[in-house]
C-alpha cells in the first residue's frame, strides 16, 4: 500500500492520525509547526518528538511528493521554472518570479488542463489528472524553503499555472485554507489569487466562501463568438451569463475582480475590441490585466506589438476601466502565462 502524503491532511485529520498512533493531542501542533513554519521535509528533523513516533510516521507517510527533474532560469535571473516529477511519474511546472519588493509564485492545480484554450500550451497538452491539495501545497513549500535559505520570503501566490483551479475546486480550496491557517503558514488571503476561465457554478460557490482571496477571470475577448473560438469553455459559460456572475461576486464580497486579457496581433487587439471590453465591464468593480500573448508551439499567431498594447490600454483608461500592462516574464524559458506544458521540457 503506497504511503499517504502528509500535506493532504488538514489539522483535524492530522490529529486523528496521531490519535490512532496513541499520541497525545499536543503532538498535532508540534508536527504542524514542523511542516508549516519550519518547513521540515524529513521526519528525522522532528527532534522534539520521540523516535518511535518519527519511525511510525515515516512508515506511513511521505512529506514531499515532488522531485526536481529540471530547473530553468531566465536570462535576467529573475524567473525560475521548475519541472517537478510526482510520485506516479507525471510532471508539473511551477514558476517563481522575483520583483524588486516581492517574490511571486505561479502554481499548478492539474497535470495538463481540460479547458483547451487554443493559445495555451497547457491546454494543448490535454488533461491527465488533478493534483491533491498536498501536491498543490508542496509546490509552495519547496519555494518557501528555497527563499528562506536566501533570507527572503514568498509574498504572493497565484493559482495560474497548469490546470483550471475551479475544476479541482475542493483540493484548491483545501490548499488555500492550509496556506491561510494561523497555526502554520498564516499566509495572507489578499496575497493569494485564483484564476479561472469562468466556471460559473464554481464562481458562485467561491463567492459564498466569503474569503479575502483574489479572483481573476481569463476573458481575452468581449465578443462572444470570438471568445468561444479562443476559450472553448465560453460555449458552456457564455459572456451573457459569466459577466453577471462576476458582477454578483463583486457586489456580494465587495472585492475587486481582475480580468486577464492576452492580446493577439490582429485578433482581439483593435480599438473596437477595447471599446467592446470597456462597454462590457462598465460600472463593475474590476481591473484589467493586459499582456501580449506569449508564444506556444501549437498556436501560430503572435502577441500584439507594444504600440497596440499601449493603445488598447489607453482606450480602456479613456472609458474609466482600471488597467495594468503586465510584464512578460520568462518567455525564453517558456515560463510565461500560457506557456507551461510539462511534456515539452521533459529531459
Catalytic positions, written as ranges = 93, 337
Question: What is the C-alpha separation between 146 and 94, in angstroms, rounded?
Answer: 13
Are 231 and 217 a contacting pair, CB within 8 Å?
no
Half-sphere exposure of 72 (CA within 13 A, CB side): 21
Q: Tell me how far the alpha carbon of residue 60 is from its chain's centroid.
A: 29
Cell of 318: 479613456
Q: Are 108 and 139 in contact (CB under 8 A)?
A: yes
Compute the distance between CA of residue 246 and CA of residue 77 in angstroms, rounded to an integer. 37
Q: In whole angstroms, what is the distance from residue 132 CA to residue 159 CA?
A: 14
Q: How far apart are CA 151 and CA 192, in angstroms?
A: 21
Find, among 117, 128, 201, 204, the residue nearest to 160 by Cα: 117
Q: What is the DSSP letter of 264?
A: B
- Partner residues linked to 131 by β-bridges: none
Q: How far apart are CA 109 and CA 166, in angstroms?
A: 9
**Distance between CA 90 and CA 179 in Å, rounded?**
24
Within 13 Å of residue 75, how many CA atoms lie on the same side as its CB? 3
296 DSSP assignment: B
Alpha-carbon distance 103 to 317, whole Å? 28
Of 231, 300, 225, nearest in space to 259 by CA: 231
- DSSP bridge partners of 196: 217
Please name the helix (run of DSSP H) or strand (run of DSSP E) that holds residue 157, with its range, or none: strand 156-159
The grid cell for 245 is 456572475
Secondary element (H or E) of residue 158:
strand 156-159
Amino acid at each position: 500500500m503506497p504511503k499517504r502524503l502528509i500535506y493532504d491532511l488538514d489539522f483535524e485529520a492530522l490529529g486523528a492520525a496521531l490519535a490512532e498512533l496513541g499520541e497525545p493531542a499536543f503532538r498535532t501542533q508540534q508536527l504542524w509547526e514542523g511542516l508549516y513554519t519550519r518547513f521540515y521535509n524529513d521526519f528525522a528533523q522532528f527532534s522534539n518528538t520521540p523516535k518511535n513516533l518519527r519511525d511510525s510516521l515515516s512508515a506511513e507517510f511521505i512529506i514531499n511528493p515532488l522531485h526536481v527533474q529540471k530547473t530553468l532560469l531566465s536570462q535576467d535571473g529573475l524567473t525560475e521554472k521548475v519541472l517537478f516529477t510526482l510520485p506516479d511519474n507525471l510532471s508539473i511546472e511551477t514558476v517563481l518570479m522575483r520583483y524588486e519588493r516581492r517574490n511571486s509564485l505561479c502554481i499548478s492545480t492539474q497535470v495538463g488542463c481540460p479547458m483547451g484554450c487554443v493559445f495555451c500550451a497547457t491546454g494543448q497538452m490535454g488533461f491527465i489528472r488533478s493534483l491533491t491539495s498536498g501536491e498543490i501545497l508542496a509546490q509552495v513549500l519547496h519555494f518557501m524553503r528555497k527563499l528562506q535559505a536566501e533570507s527572503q520570503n514568498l509574498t504572493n501566490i497565484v493559482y495560474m499555472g497548469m490546470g483550471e483551479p475551479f475544476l479541482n475546486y475542493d483540493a484548491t480550496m483545501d490548499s488555500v485554507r492550509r496556506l491561510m491557517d494561523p497555526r502554520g503558514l498564516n499566509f495572507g488571503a489578499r496575497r493569494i489569487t485564483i484564476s479561472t476561465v469562468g466556471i460559473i457554478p464554481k464562481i458562485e460557490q467561491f463567492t459564498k466562501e466569503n474569503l479575502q482571496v483574489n479572483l481573476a477571470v481569463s476573458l481575452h475577448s468581449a465578443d462572444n463568438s470570438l471568445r468561444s473560438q479562443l476559450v472553448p469553455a465560453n460555449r458552456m459559460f457564455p459572456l451573457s451569463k459569466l459577466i453577471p456572475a462576476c458582477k454578483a461576486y463583486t457586489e456580494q464580497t465587495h472585492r475587486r475582480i481582475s480580468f486577464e486579457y492576452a492580446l493577439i496581433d490582429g485578433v482581439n487587439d483593435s480599438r473596437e475590441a477595447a471599446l467592446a471590453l470597456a462597454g462590457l465591464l462598465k460600472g463593475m468593480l474590476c481591473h484589467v490585466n493586459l499582456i501580449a500573448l506569449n508564444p506556444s508551439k501549437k498556436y501560430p499567431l503572435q502577441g500584439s506589438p507594444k504600440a497596440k498594447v499601449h493603445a488598447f490600454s489607453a482606450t480602456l483608461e479613456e472609458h474609466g476601466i482600471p488597467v495594468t500592462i503586465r510584464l512578460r516574464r520568462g518567455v525564453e524559458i517558456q515560463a510565461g502565462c500560457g506557456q507551461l506544458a510539462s511534456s515539452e521540457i521533459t529531459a
